[in-house]
């Protein structure tokens, strides 16, 4: 079983924190749609006929596309791959794009999960992040989605936004709980080099929150979500009613996936590849029937480390058996002493042979993962 990711590299405007591949110049949109649909055909053997369990439109802003454009990509994928009847089909959407008509159309073409980029319910924050929408739009987008029959909804929140206290974060969390989506992703605001915030940080025009502040918000969210019946199934992700993101989980379980569109990543179990991060060049290459990609073959140690890193972040933990099977490394033996120390220090729990981050350990997922990495 496999997944397909489609990258839609257009946005109305640039969010100041975002370093994903996108363009705010949209005259190539139609050509891009044609190219992505064409790439699906060119890549039809990538998954070796495995059935597609999840399909995910990410970006950029997939909801920026017109319905017929989305339809066209979806049709091409449907034509060249075998999509399971119960497949999870997710579309990332910005609140301002979710009109009643758009929602009806999405539903009709088979999209069954929406990931809505709410980010915060505070208008000042939204403005500071340079989001297009305001909190009113976000709330009505969720309501309208439900009216249109979407049950499987996810929303995003950003925490550790610099502020004098936690009041806004507490309100954001309360609003999220009240809206009661089945899925929530919460991201620590990271300042990446090639973003507006990255620039501002260099010029000291903004500050970043210290780790104490961030930790308090992270822990507050964790408590509130658990109290509200959510399952903290991954460091940044919470779900209710068993509605975890099947697509994202497949990344963490190291299942193969195909990425379509510029900047999209693919993984066939051994090697990763990604298309170039350039819209016109991508389109040109596809027109000449070439996949403009860069590939990276993973060494057994690379593979092991990716499984360690992604596994630790999930509630299922690091599975030594899976690592042994995929890479040949016995992580429990290689790091026997350190693992024992980490268990003793209360960072790790050993359950059914798997290593799971404790509540305290969740705060240090990166440090712990790096410590358990295998030297290649």
Partner 1 sequence: MKRIRNFCIIAHIDHGKSTLADRLLEFTKTVTQREMQAQLLDSMDLERERGITIKSHAIQMEYIYEGENYILNLIDTPGHVDFSYEVSRSIAACEGALLIVDASQGIEAQTISNLYLALEHDLEIIPVLNKIDLPGADPEMVKEQVVDLLGVNAEDVIYASGKEGLGIEEILNAIVRRIPPPTGDPEAPLQAMIFDSLFNSYRGVEVIFRVFNGQISKGDKVKFMNTGREYEADEVGILKLQHKPVDCVTTGNVGYLISGIKVAREVKVGDTITHVEKPTNQLVKGFEDVKPMVFAGIYPVETSEFEELRSSMEKLQLNDASLVWEPETSVALGFGFRCGFLGMLHMEIVQERLEREFDMTVITTVPSVQFRVNMTDGTLKMVSAPSEMPDPSKIDTIEEPYIKAQIITKSEYIGAVIALCMDKRGIIKNQHYLTVDRVELVFELPLSEIVFDFFDKLKTISRGYASLDYELIGFRESNMVKLDIMLNGEKVDALSAIVHRDKAYEWGKRLCEKLRELLPRQMFEIAIQAAIGTKVIARETVKAMRKNVLAKCYGGDISRKRKLLEKQKKGKKRMRAVGNVEIPQEAFMAVLKLDQ
* Nearest-approach distance from CB 7 to partner 1, in angstroms: 8
Contact 102, 69 (CB under 8 A): no
Report the residue from 309, 323, 339, 355 that binds partner 1 according to the rule CB under 8 A: 309
Interface region with partner 1, contact rule CB under 8 A, candidates 44-52, 77-85, 115-123, 294-302: 294-302
Q: Which CB, 173 or 347, lies closer to partner 1?
A: 347
Interface region with partner 1, contact rule CB under 8 A, candidates 63-71, 101-109, 162-170, 180-188: 180-188
Please enumerate in sequence order all residues whose Cβ is within 8 A of that of 139, keeping only pairs 6 or more positions apart, or say none: 121, 175, 179
Report the residue from 76, 120, 185, 327 that binds partner 1 according to the rule CB under 8 A: 185
Residues 10-69 that bind partner 1 (CB under 8 A): 20, 58
Interface region with partner 1, contact rule CB under 8 A, candidates 71-79, 93-101, 106-114, 299-307: 299-307
Interface region with partner 1, contact rule CB under 8 A, candidates 87-95, 123-131, 199-207, 249-257: 249-257
Q: Which CB, 295 or 325, lies closer to partner 1?
A: 295
Interface region with partner 1, contact rule CB under 8 A, candidates 83-91, 118-126, 166-174, 211-219: 211-219
Q: Which position has the token pair 């990255």?
A: 198
Please enumerate in sequence order all residues whose Cβ is within 8 A of that of 259, keeping only pairs 6 or more positions apart, or say none: 4, 5, 6, 7, 265, 266, 274, 275
Looking only at the bridges linking them, the beta strands covering 265-267 and 271-275 are antiparallel
Cis preceding linkage at 60, omega within 30: yes
Q: Which CB, 169 or 257, lies closer to partner 1?
A: 257
Instruction: For residues 262 and 275, give the distance between their C-alpha atoms in angstroms, rounded to a whole number.
Output: 5
Contact 58, 91 (CB under 8 A): no
Q: Does 107 bind partner 1 (CB under 8 A)?
A: no
Query: 246 to each of 10, 65, 87, 231, 271, how far by Cα in Å?
Result: 25, 24, 9, 14, 22
Q: Does 103 bind partner 1 (CB under 8 A)?
A: no
Q: Which CB, 289 or 296, lies closer to partner 1?
A: 296
The pair of structure tokens assigned to 149 is: 């029959």
Contact 2, 258 (CB under 8 A): yes
Phi-psi region of 185 (alpha: psi -120 to 50; beta: other; left: phi over 0): beta
Element (H, E) at 53: strand 52-59
Please enumerate in sequence order all residues whose Cβ is within 8 A of that of 23, keeping only pairs 6 or more positions apart, or say none: 9, 10, 11, 279
- Residue 162 carries which DSSP code? -
Report the residue from 218, 222, 230, 238 that binds partner 1 according to the rule CB under 8 A: 218
Q: Does 305 bind partner 1 (CB under 8 A)?
A: yes
Report the residue from 66, 143, 178, 211 that binds partner 1 according to the rule CB under 8 A: 211
Q: Does 296 bind partner 1 (CB under 8 A)?
A: yes
Residues that bind partner 1 (CB under 8 A): 5, 20, 58, 185, 187-188, 190, 211-212, 214-215, 218, 235-236, 248, 251-252, 257, 259, 263-265, 267, 272, 274, 296, 298, 302, 305-306, 309-310, 313, 341, 345, 347, 363-367, 369-371, 373
């Amino acid at each position: 079983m496999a997944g397909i990711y489609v990258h839609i590299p257009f946005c109305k405007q640039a969010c100041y924190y975002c370093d994903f591949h996108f363009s705010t110049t949209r005259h190539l949109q139609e050509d891009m749609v044609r190219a992505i649909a064409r790439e699906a055909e060119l890549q039809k053997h990538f998954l070796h006929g495995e059935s597609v369990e999840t399909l995910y439109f990410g970006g950029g802003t997939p909801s920026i596309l017109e319905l017929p454009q989305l339809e066209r990509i979806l049709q091409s994928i449907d034509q060249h791959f075998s999509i399971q009847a119960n497949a999870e089909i997710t579309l990332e959407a910005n609140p301002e794009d979710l009109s009643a008509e758009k929602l009806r159309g999405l539903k009709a073409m088979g999209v069954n999960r929406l990931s809505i980029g709410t980010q915060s319910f505070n208008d000042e924050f939204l403005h500071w992040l340079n989001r297009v929408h305001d909190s009113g739009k976000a709330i009505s987008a969720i309501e309208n989605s439900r009216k249109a029959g979407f049950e499987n909804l996810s929303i995003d929140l950003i925490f550790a936004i610099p502020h004098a206290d936690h009041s806004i974060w507490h309100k954001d969390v309360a609003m999220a709980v009240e809206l009661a989506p089945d899925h929530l992703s919460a991201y620590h605001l990271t300042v990446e080099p090639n973003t507006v915030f990255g620039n501002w940080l260099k010029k000291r025009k903004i500050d970043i929150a210290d780790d104490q502040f961030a930790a308090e918000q992270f822990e507050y969210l964790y408590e509130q979500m658990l109290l509200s019946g959510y399952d903290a199934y991954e460091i940044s992700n919470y779900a209710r009613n068993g509605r975890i993101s099947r697509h994202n989980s497949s990344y963490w379980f190291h299942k193969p996936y195909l990425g379509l569109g510029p900047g999209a990543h693919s993984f066939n179990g051994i090697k990763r590849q990604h298309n170039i991060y350039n819209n016109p060049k991508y389109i040109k290459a596809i027109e000449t029937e070439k996949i403009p990609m860069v590939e990276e073959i993973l060494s057994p140690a690379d593979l092991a480390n990716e499984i360690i890193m992604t596994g630790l972040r999930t509630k299922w933990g690091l599975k030594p058996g899976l690592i042994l099977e995929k890479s040949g490394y016995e992580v429990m033996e290689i790091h026997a002493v350190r693992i024992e120390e980490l268990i003793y220090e209360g960072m790790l729990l050993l359950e059914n042979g798997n290593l799971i981050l404790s509540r305290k350990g969740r705060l240090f997922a990166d440090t712990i993962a790096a410590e358990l990495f295998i030297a290649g």
